[in-house]
């Protein structure tokens, strides 16, 4: 019954009884329990055809808050949101994930507690914590699995460490899955099949299929950065293989190519700055990176038949050149049936994709049918 | 409540009330309705601690039958099964899908009715019909969408034509999705993430993700035959593009390569026969086809992280050479996390994959929560 109310619409007890097929007495008891938990609140009178108008009830997203944490190799973005992912307070900082879990999670706990206070809420209002990490994560346990750029984090019980500080459940996933969830919920809630592609130093994807994030057997779904592309056959990749798309189309790879042309570039930020300054060589390099990435995305279109591909991450900030290259190859290489309604767009949530996704993941956990059943007995 | 009973285990009314949280009176009424429909039957007495032992009830898969139809370009395979996909009668025949929907569906209706009679059941016992077709199908309507090898079938109301004959719901999907469903249910029911690859004249895949078939936005998911591979860059494909994996690793493409070596081969059947006769050139060609297909499957492993890849279809009957080529490339090109528990195997259901999947699709429809709610009011 509560799942019905999550849309925010006010309903009367009678309406809830009709839609759920449950007895009026059952509905009344559940409403009482949800009201005492604060998750549901009276929402005024319904229109009436005469007599005393019946009271309506609605989901009360302000009753609790969640802490959303988006960690990258060198950045942290934290937000406190209500249960409808409205941001109440947020903070960005420069960190180094390589400082290890004790230092980083200690800082996250301190900053998170300050942010909850800044939002004007006691820590007891914190319902859950959602976190994205820049590496493979076993979602069921929240433990990183051999993360290449996170020394000291392998198999660390991240939820255990943070829930000791917050006394709340902690959900962890890799950053690209979290960004995909954030973009999907905020910008494309009615699209069932969406691919979110992050183009930064690394390249990765998050898969939304039939409306839900799909993580695969070991949580490694979407790890497209090491798929081979023709044009990169001899290019060595940090993974130990050669020819990976990341080795030619990642931010640092594009910067390296530009440096070889005599431009001053070492990472994706420099690439974006050069493109924005109107540098033609940089724009051409980004467009070629889009073509190389396009050969991989053409294969994902054939395999998954999404209706939307969202391109996010730092390099996407270079603008239309990346998308133009992607579109050029995807529309040439994919079958008409799979591309006739396909949209390829840049992220609408931008740098907020991660915290919005972490918030959604944290909220989904506390408002799941199982969690609510525990509340209402 | 009925969904609980689908596992076939007998349960008492009291057990069902405990597990579902529904009132004893509600359970008793629903059991009565399901018994009068035949879907549930008494299953003997439960053990008792004294007094009259309580009666148990169980799903009765023999109460109704479904007709499962697997149509290819030149073959038809029909089966009548019970509601647990046990085959009660089956038949194979040579057809030509290019004869068009009137001729082919007329024949299917006649043969299907004969098969129901052969299974000893009246047509009124037929609960539904499931069908796989060799082309893209809009699953929600059952209509083929511009199917390349099915002249005259575009946008034809296949369910409408067949349900006029059978007075039962008709579910239609493309043949590879149906084969994936059949293989998954029969051989890998506990695996959540599985990729079924059909290698015949064409190459296609069916995706099982988080336990369910994923069709994508237009039902075109799994259409991997036209993904580009390095080794085929200049090879023209029947789709109008060049470099498609189907153009080098499909049955007819392998046969063409063998014919150029002076061997007598025109299609996949000939290739399989040559391999089985011990021809080294044919075995090498099949292994190379496996490698070419492997480059595409390596990308799908990175993208989807399945725990099982099942290779089926006619060319898979050539045996280990195809799998050896696939494994060689997939294990070299995919990330360790995605391959450490990955199994790559041949189909266990073989030529029955299609009818078993069509049966499962038909049964799922009639035993869905919505359909059962309609039965029990």
* Number of other residues whose CB lies within 10 A of the CB of residue A281: 14
Cβ separation A217–B306 shorter than 8 A: yes
| Torsion angle of C-alpha atoms B310, B316, B320, B326, degrees rounded to 10 | -60
Same fold, A64-180+354-375 and A182-348: yes
**Which are the contacts of A180, defined by CB distance < 8 A and separation ≥ 6?**
A194, A195, A196, A205, A206, A207, A208, A213, A222, A310, A353, A357
CA A128 → CA A37, A163, B358, B370, distances in Å?
15, 9, 43, 34
- For residue B307, the 8-state DSSP code is S
Cβ separation B220–A341 shorter than 8 A: no
Q: Residue window 9-68, chain A: list those with CB within 8 Å of chain B.
A: none
Residue A235 exposed, middle or buried by CB count within 10 Å (0-12, 13-18, 19+): middle
Report the residue of chain B nearest A196, measured CA to CA.
B303
The Cα–Cα gap between B199 and B179 comes to: 12
CA proximity to A90, closest of A355, A350, A360: A355
Rg of chain A's alpha carbons, rounded to an integer? 23
pLDDT at B37: 87
ipTM of the complex: 0.91
Report the residue of chain B nearest A304, measured CA to CA.
B221
State whether residue B79 is helix, strand or coil: strand
Would you call A300 an interface residue with chain B, using a CB distance cutoff of 8 Å? yes
Tokens representing B302? 């990175």
State whether residue B4 is helix, strand or coil: helix
State whether residue A116 is helix, strand or coil: helix
Judge contact between B50 and B71, C-beta under 8 A: no
**Which CATH topology does A182-348 take?**
Nucleotidyltransferase; domain 5 (3.30.420)
Residues of A with Cβ-Cβ distance to B233 under 8 angstroms: 230
Judge contact between B318 and B201, C-beta under 8 A: no
State whether residue B134 is helix, strand or coil: coil
Run of H or E including B269: helix B268-276
Would you call A216 an interface residue with chain B, using a CB distance cutoff of 8 Å? yes
When CB atoms are compared, the residue of B228, B303, B342 closest to A303 is B303
Run of H or E including B43: strand B40-45
When CB atoms are compared, the residue of A218, A219, A224 closest to B303 is A224
State whether residue B44 is helix, strand or coil: strand
* Number of other residues whose CB lies within 10 A of the CB of residue B93: 12
When CB atoms are compared, the residue of A205, A218, A302 closest to B341 is A218
Judge contact between B180 and B308, C-beta under 8 A: no
Place of tokens 């009276």: A42
Tokens representing A282? 């940089």
Cβ separation B220–A338 shorter than 8 A: yes
When CB atoms are compared, the residue of B215, B226, B228 closest to A335 is B226
- For residue B63, the 8-state DSSP code is G
> pLDDT band for position A377 (50/70/90)?
low
What ranges do the domains of chain A cover?
Answer: 2-62, 64-180+354-375, 182-348
The Cα–Cα gap between B163 and B2 comes to: 26
Q: How many CB pairs under 8 A join A and B?
A: 151
The Cα–Cα gap between A341 and B241 comes to: 20
* Number of other residues whose CB lies within 10 A of the CB of residue B155: 12
Run of H or E including B16: helix B13-20
What share of chain A has pLDDT > 70, as a percent? 99
Closest-CA distance, B22 to chain A, in angstroms, reads: 10
Cβ separation A218–B335 shorter than 8 A: no
Cβ separation B303–A214 shorter than 8 A: no
Judge contact between B184 and B208, C-beta under 8 A: yes
Rg of chain B's alpha carbons, rounded to an integer? 23
Cβ separation B223–A145 shorter than 8 A: no
According to CATH, the superfamily of the domain at A64-180+354-375 is ATPase, nucleotide binding domain (3.30.420.40)
Phi, psi angles (nearest 5°) of residue A177: -60, -45
Per-residue pLDDT of chain B (377 residues; tens, 9 = 90+): 788 888 888 999 988 888 877 778 888 888 998 998 899 999 888 776 677 778 899 999 999 999 999 999 889 999 999 999 999 999 999 999 999 999 999 999 999 999 999 999 999 999 999 999 999 998 889 999 988 889 999 999 999 999 999 999 999 999 999 999 999 999 999 999 999 999 998 999 999 999 999 999 989 999 999 999 988 888 999 888 899 999 999 999 999 999 999 999 999 999 999 999 999 999 999 999 999 999 999 999 999 999 999 999 999 999 899 999 999 999 998 888 888 899 999 999 999 999 999 999 999 999 988 888 777 75
B63-179+354-376 has CATH 3.30.420.40 classification: yes
Residue B150 exposed, middle or buried by CB count within 10 Å (0-12, 13-18, 19+): buried
pLDDT at B377: 56
Q: E-strand spans in chain A?
A: 11-12, 40-45, 55-59, 65-71, 75-82, 87-94, 126-133, 137-138, 143-144, 170-174, 194-199, 203-209, 212-214, 308-312, 343-346
The Cα–Cα gap between A218 and A212 comes to: 17
A2-62 has CATH 1.20.1600.10 classification: no
Q: What integer is the mean pLDDT of A72-84?
A: 95
Class of domain B2-61: mainly alpha
| Side-chain half-sphere CA neighbours of B252 within 13 A | 8
- For residue B236, the 8-state DSSP code is B
Judge contact between B158 and B131, C-beta under 8 A: yes
Cβ separation B304–A214 shorter than 8 A: yes
| A contact test, residue of B302, B308, B329, B372 with most A CBs within 10 A | B302
Residues of A with Cβ-Cβ distance to B307 under 8 angstroms: 217-218
| Torsion angle of C-alpha atoms B221, A137, B191, B344, degrees rounded to 10 | 70
Which of A16-25, A55-64, B7-16 has the least mean pLDDT? A16-25
> pLDDT band for position A344 (50/70/90)?
very high
Residues of A with Cβ-Cβ distance to B298 under 8 angstroms: 227-228
Cβ separation B299–A302 shorter than 8 A: no
Complete DSSP assignment for B283-297 = HHHHHHHHHHHHHHH
Closest-CA distance, B162 to chain A, in angstroms, reads: 26
Class of domain B181-349: alpha beta
3-state secondary structure A211-232: CEEECCCCCCCCCHHHCECHHH
Closest-CA distance, B362 to chain A, in angstroms, reads: 20
Place of tokens 């995706």: B207
CA A360 → CA A83, A158, B370, distances in Å?
8, 19, 29
pLDDT at A48: 63
Tokens representing B119? 């299974």
* Number of other residues whose CB lies within 10 A of the CB of residue A283: 21
Would you call B376 an interface residue with chain A, using a CB distance cutoff of 8 Å? no
Q: Residue window 152-191, chain B: list those with CB within 8 Å of chain A.
A: none
Which of A13-22, A280-289, B204-213, B221-230 has the least mean pLDDT? A13-22
pLDDT at A265: 95
Q: What integer is the mean pLDDT of A291-299?
A: 96
Judge contact between B127 and B64, C-beta under 8 A: yes
Q: Are strands A126-133 and A87-94 parallel, antiparallel or unpaired?
A: unpaired
Phi, psi angles (nearest 5°) of residue A46: -80, 160
Closest-CA distance, A249 to chain B, in angstroms, reads: 16
Report the residue of chain B nearest A231, measured CA to CA.
B230
Q: Residue window 121-150, chain B: list those with CB within 8 Å of chain A.
A: 136, 145-146
Closest-CA distance, B244 to chain A, in angstroms, reads: 9
């Amino acid at each position: 019954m509560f799942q019905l109310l999550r849309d925010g619409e006010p309903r009367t007890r009678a309406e809830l009884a009709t839609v759920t097929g449950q007895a009026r007495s059952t509905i009344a008891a559940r409403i009482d329990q949800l009201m005492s938990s604060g998750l549901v609140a009276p929402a005024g009178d319904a229109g009436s055809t005469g007599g005393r108008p019946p009271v309506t009830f609605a989901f009360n997203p302000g009753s609790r808050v969640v802490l959303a944490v988006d960690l990258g190799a060198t950045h942290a973005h934290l937000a406190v949101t209500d249960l409808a992912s409205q941001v109440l307070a947020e903070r960005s900082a420069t960190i180094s994930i390589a400082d290890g879990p004790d230092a980083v999670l200690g800082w996250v706990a301190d900053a998170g507690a300050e942010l909850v206070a800044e939002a004007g809420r006691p820590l007891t209002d914190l319902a859950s914590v959602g976190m994205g990490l820049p590496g493979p994560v076993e979602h069921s346990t929240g433990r990183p699995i051999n993360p290449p750029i996170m020394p000291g984090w392998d198999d660390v019980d991240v939820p255990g460490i943070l829930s000791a500080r917050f006394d709340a459940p902690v959900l962890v996933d890799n950053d690209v899955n979290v960004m995909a969830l954030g973009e999907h919920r905020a910008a494309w809630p009615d699209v069932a099949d969406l691919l979110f592609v992050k183009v930064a130093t690394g390249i990765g994807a998050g898969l939304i299929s039939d409306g839900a994030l799909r993580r695969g057997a070991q949580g490694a779904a979407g790890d497209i950065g090491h798929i081979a592309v023709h044009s990169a056959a001899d290019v060595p990749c940090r993974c130990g293989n050669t020819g990976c798309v990341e080795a030619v189309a990642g931010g640092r790879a594009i910067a390296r190519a530009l440096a070889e042309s005599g431009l001053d570039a070492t990472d994706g930020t420099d690439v974006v700055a050069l493109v924005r300054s109107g540098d033609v060589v940089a724009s051409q390099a980004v467009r070629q990176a889009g073509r190389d990435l396009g050969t991989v995305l053409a294969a994902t279109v054939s395999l998954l038949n999404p209706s939307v591909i969202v391109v996010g991450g730092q390099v996407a900030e270079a603008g239309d050149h990346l998308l133009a290259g992607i579109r050029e190859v995807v529309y040439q290489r994919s079958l008409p049936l799979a591309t006739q309604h396909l949209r390829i767009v840049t992220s609408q949530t931008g740098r907020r994709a991660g915290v919005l996704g972490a918030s959604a993941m944290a909220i989904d956990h506390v408002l799941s049918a199982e969690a609510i059943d525990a509340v209402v007995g």
